[in-house]
Amino acid sequence: GSEPPPSDATLRTHNIRAGVLHLCQALLMLAASLWIDGVKDFRKPLTTNYLVYDERTHSPVNRTRIIGSIQIGVLVASYSLVAATSHALVIVWWRLYLRDINRGINRYRWLEYAVSSSIMVCAIAMLFGCSDLSSLMLIGMMNSSMSCFGLLMELMNSPNRAVDATRWEPFWFGTLAGAAPWIVVLQYFYGGG
């Protein structure tokens, strides 16, 4: 047979341990990002694009301006910090977490993914050359939407439903939203060709 589900105390202990490990990982990555040569200097630019009127050609032309830069190590450290924060919120709102788990819902997981995986996919896009702030915002928002559709899938489909009563709309919408950032990343990976 199948194993019984973990007790509430075991689940709480696992969340505390996972939160502490994520926090330690975030602090180590942050320390490396701030003090290790080569890592602390690894930055990627942030740009914006805008139109200006070219008097010579009498037409609008695109211009790019660097508005700052992001230290990739700090961005990666924030990924683990978000996960640690999520585990801390689970402990703070333990009763809500247990009530949801017993209903087959884990809203903390989906909300944490909405933030942390969006940071991750934006960091990957930047590593492949995407520096446009607007594009990065859209990548992050589409990725967050995917996670929100995952939560909606759990909210709409209780574990004790009949299999043929499953509502698949959130899954398909989430798949569409989640594919968009990776299409952009692949475009940069293959040089936009």
What does the alpha-carbon distance between residue 78 and residue 38 come to, in Å, rounded to a whole number? 19
- Segment 2-45, tens digit of pLDDT: 777 788 899 999 999 999 999 999 999 999 888 887 777 889 99
Judge whether 44 and 63 are in contact, CB under 8 Å. Answer: no
Residue 21 main-chain phi, psi, to 5 deg? -65, -45
Give the number of other CB atoms < 10 A from CB of residue 113: 21
What does the alpha-carbon distance between residue 193 and residue 187 come to, in Å, rounded to a whole number? 7
Write down the residue that tokens 């330690």 correspond to.
24
Q: Where are the beta strands (DSSP E) in 58-184?
A: 59-71
pTM listed for this prediction: 0.86
